[in-house]
């Protein structure tokens, strides 16, 4: 069994990790750190695991006898947390601290960008993973096949809507119910932090890419999920483009190409990304949907863990969507 520790155990991503790992056949939760709720029973904070994890309490220090630690303590805190983790323990960081290449080295650790559909083989041989951001995941999966063929030749326009869980569990003016309900708003227009990841990966695949990327994020009036719409110039017929996408993702178990329009509920509670492609005049339009807490965070982290420990990639992640 893979012995697992989680640091930052009270947030949404940690809660999803706990829920998924409980039913993962090859792993065991040994230690969950929360400095805000030390000594409390985990199921009193994550009430959906009542009856499944009743006797485990939050601790203030991480167990030393672990195989892997998931860092969920919040952006900017991972370096401090690593000081207490043995170099022999593998690390999967769900924060943004190590995603950019110039920041990926720390205390002898080299963090690999953990997008399995991009670099599965490298993840398999790595001990330290920087889990991608949720928007970055949805958007990169929309354009990886194009970038891999050097076909991004013009401006990329993106709009994407995320649920309130994307803002984290802590209260803020824009994530409580009375503000979100019957409401929608933009934020960080053209300046969202996940743009750094997106640009980095595109330039990794397509070194001569120099066009602008315009990204407009929206706060949606729902709890979880992301729908992203990306469009850019393409000279290729739609049927050829769809065939290219299906070929690119044919050996990746969580990305699907839909021939009909898609909606967020298709992926909620799953590790799937579903894409739908269409063309209007010379513009290729790619619609992408993911669950921001699973494929955009905790599910993808477990997918990376499976690869790191030479397990079947989908182990513990064959989940049913919550459609109604």
Could you give phi then psi for residue 227, rounded to 5 degrees? -125, 125
Catalytic residue among 102, 134, 273, 315: 134
**pTM of the predicted structure, to 2 decimals:** 0.95
Do 166 and 122 share a domain, yes or no? no
**Gap between the Cα atoms of 126 and 301, Å rounded:** 13
* Number of separate helices (H) and strands (E) present in the chain: 9, 15
Residue closest to 114 by CA, chosen among 199, 201, 29: 201
In a domain, 324, yes or no: no
Q: Read off the CATH number of the domain in which 127 is found.
A: 3.40.50.720
Residue 255 inside a domain? The answer is yes
Under DSSP, the state recorded for 266 is G
Range of the domain at 277: 134-292
Contacts with 230 (C-beta within 8 Å, 6 or more apart), sequence order: 139, 142, 143, 156, 157, 158, 285, 286, 287, 288
33 phi and psi angles, rounded to 5 deg: -95, 130
User: Would you say residue 44 lies in a domain?
Assistant: yes
Residue 147 falls within a domain, yes or no?
yes
Q: What's the Cα-to-Cα distance from 158 to each of 45, 107, 230, 283, 318, rounded to whole Å?
A: 36, 36, 4, 13, 29
In a domain, 159, yes or no: yes
**What are 204's two structure tokens?**
């990794």
Per DSSP, the three-state class of 4 is strand
| Residue 276 sits in the same domain as residue 150 | yes
Whether residue 154 is found in the same domain as residue 244: yes
Would you state the pLDDT for residue 239?
97
CATH of the domain at 223: 3.30.360.10
Same domain for 185 and 122: no
Question: What is the token pair recorded at 50?
Answer: 């009542």
Largest CA distance in the chain: 60
Residue 315 within any structural domain of the chain: no
* Model pLDDT, residue 280: 97
Residues 50 and 169 reside in one and the same domain: no
Q: Are residues 37 and 117 in the same domain?
A: yes
Instruction: Tell whether 44 and 112 lie within a shared domain.
Output: yes
Does 223 share its domain with 301? no
Note whether 148 and 93 are same-domain residues. Answer: no
Same-domain check for residues 258 and 148: yes
Does residue 315 carry a catalytic annotation? no
Q: For the stretch 18-51, what's the b/e string if a residue is b when 16 or more beta carbons lie within 10 angstroms of its beta carbon?
A: bbbbeebeebebbbbbbeebeeeebbebbeebee
Whether residue 154 is found in the same domain as residue 91: no
Total of domains in the chain: 2
Is residue 313 domain-resident?
Answer: no
Over its C-alpha atoms, the chain yields an Rg (Å, rounded) of: 19
- Give the mean pLDDT per block of 10 residues along the chain (324 residues): 95 94 95 90 90 86 94 88 92 96 92 97 98 97 97 97 76 70 92 94 94 96 95 97 98 98 97 98 98 97 98 95 80
Q: Map residue 229 onto helix, strand or coil.
A: strand
Q: What is the pLDDT of residue 28?
A: 94
The answer to whether position 250 is within a domain reads yes
* 95 and 167 housed in the same domain: no
Residues near 280 by beta carbon (within 8 Å), at least 6 away in sequence: none
């Amino acid at each position: 069994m893979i012995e697992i520790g989680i640091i930052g155990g009270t947030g949404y991503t940690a809660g999803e990790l706990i829920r998924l790992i409980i039913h993962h056949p090859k792993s065991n939760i040994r230690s969950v750190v929360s400095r805000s709720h030390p000594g409390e029973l985990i199921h009193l904070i994550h009430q959906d695991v009542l009856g499944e994890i009743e006797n485990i309490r939050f601790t203030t220090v991480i167990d030393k006898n672990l195989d892997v630690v998931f860092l969920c303590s919040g952006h900017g805190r991972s370096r401090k947390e690593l000081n207490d983790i043995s170099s022999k323990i593998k690390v999967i960081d769900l924060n943004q601290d190590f995603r950019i290449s110039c920041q990926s080295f720390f205390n002898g650790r080299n963090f690999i960008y953990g997008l399995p559909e991009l670099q599965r083989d490298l993840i398999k041989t790595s001990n330290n993973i920087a889990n991608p951001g949720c928007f970055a995941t949805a958007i990169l999966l929309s354009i990886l096949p194009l970038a891999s063929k050097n076909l991004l030749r013009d401006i990329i326009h993106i709009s994407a809507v995320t649920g309130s869980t994307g803002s984290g569990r802590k209260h803020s003016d824009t994530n409580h119910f009375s503000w979100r309900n019957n409401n929608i708003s933009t934020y960080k227009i053209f300046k969202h932090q996940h743009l750094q990841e997106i640009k980095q990966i595109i330039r990794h695949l397509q070194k001569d890419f120099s066009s602008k990327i315009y990204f407009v994020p929206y706060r949606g009036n729902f709890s979880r999920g992301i729908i992203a719409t990306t469009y850019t110039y393409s000279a290729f017929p739609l049927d050829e483009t769809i065939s290219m996408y299906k070929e690119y993702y044919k050996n990746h178990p969580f990305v699907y190409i839909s021939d009909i329009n898609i909606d967020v509920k298709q992926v909620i509670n799953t590790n799937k990304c579903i894409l739908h492609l269409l063309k209007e005049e010379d513009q290729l339009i790619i619609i992408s949907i993911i669950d921001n807490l699973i494929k955009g965070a905790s599910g993808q982290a477990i997918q990376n863990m499976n690869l790191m420990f030479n397990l079947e990639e989908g182990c513990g992640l064959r989940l049913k969507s919550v459609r109604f």
